[in-house]
Structure 1
Amino acid sequence: MSHVRIAYDTFQKTAPAAQAALLALGKCADESGFDKEIIELVKLRVSQINNCAFCLQIHLNVARKLGMKQEKLDLVATWHEAGIFSDRECAALAWAETLVRLADRSVPDEAFAAVRAHFSQDEVVFLSVAIATINAWNRLGAAFRFAPPVPKRVAAAAS
């Protein structure tokens, strides 16, 4: 069973500038006007790939607050086969998977062309910033095993 190595609040107290920088970087993409549901889908998928329960739970909570369809949240891990994601969502998810899996390879021109077929240059910049930011958070959350936040509806039911 996993155990917390360093608690999130300890990280906040130890490295407030790092936390602030990551939050600011994330806010840059969030405030760009880019589709928030696509950003959340990408953050969910990247967090799944990187095995970060903390970030996965946070972004499930955010996605639910946005009113995202439950079937999309349920099937984002198998988006290739699900048949319920738009072409733009699929392009964003494919780009996210490409940027997450960079070990021993570069980003293929075909992958960039595929994302550009659905997004403007500016949108690709902000989408890539969102992917890079969640990757950074995932590395911290997975390394330190931050405990996933309990969703409010679960906490309320438990009390």
Structure 2
Amino acid sequence: MERITYQDIPKGMFENLMTTENFINQSPLGIKLLELIRLRVAQKNGCAYCVDMHHKELKHLGESDLRLSSLCVWKETPYFTEKEEAALNLTDTLTKLSRDPLPEATFDALTPHFSKEEICYLTLAISQINTWTRLMKTFRFVPGNYQVKEAV
């Protein structure tokens, strides 16, 4: 089922992506917000492998079933904070790019909740998970087998 297996991937490719991933994870954004962003991008891009992974990571972090099942319709629910909504709006906008610049309203909604540094991290995190989803969709990694690693 996989087109490209883990063993087929050029040595260093995933390791270098993980260096960036670890940099993002150490940001002041918090892992729960990052995982919400990752799951939302996976949903938007239709990446079953990444949906499985980030759903499991969020459950491990204590995320509620209500919020998890409602993330795909987050704009229609009252379950997310204004800060999360601003981040999710940026996520949706950057995941489905248009030729137009980022709308001022999208950026302005971030500034009450995030510093310029944090907006940089958000943008990188969204770009990074978009890279991962595109790789997984191309390689066709099989969803369902991901297991959350316990913190060491």
Same fold (TM over 0.5): yes
Would you say 1:6 and 2:1 are equivalent positions? no
| Contact 1:39 1:130 (C-alpha < 8 Å) held by counterparts | yes
Gaps of 5+ in 1: 153-159
Counterpart of 2:85 in structure 1 is 90
What is the CA-CA distance between 1:110 and the residue it aligns to? 2.1
| Contact 2:55 2:68 (C-alpha < 8 Å) held by counterparts | yes
> What amino acid sits opposite 1:105 in the alignment?
D
Q: Which runs of 4+ in 1 moved over 4 A?
A: none
Gaps of 5+ in 2: 148-152
Counterpart of 1:57 in structure 2 is 52
Would you say 1:77 and 2:72 are equivalent positions? yes
Looking at secondary structure, tell me which structure has more helix per residue: 1
2 CA distance for matches of 1:66 and 1:38?
11
Q: Identity of counterpart residues, as a percentage?
A: 32
Of 12, 20, 25, the match for 1:25 = 20
| Contact 1:95 1:111 (C-alpha < 8 Å) held by counterparts | yes
What is the CA-CA distance between 1:5 and the residue it aligns to? 1.8
The residue matched to 1:85 in structure 2 has which SS? coil
2 CA distance for matches of 1:113 and 1:15?
41
> What amino acid sits opposite 1:10 in the alignment?
Q
What is the CA-CA distance between 1:117 and the residue it aligns to? 2.6
Aligned length: 148
TM-score (normalised: structure 1): 0.85
Would you say 1:121 and 2:119 are equivalent positions? no
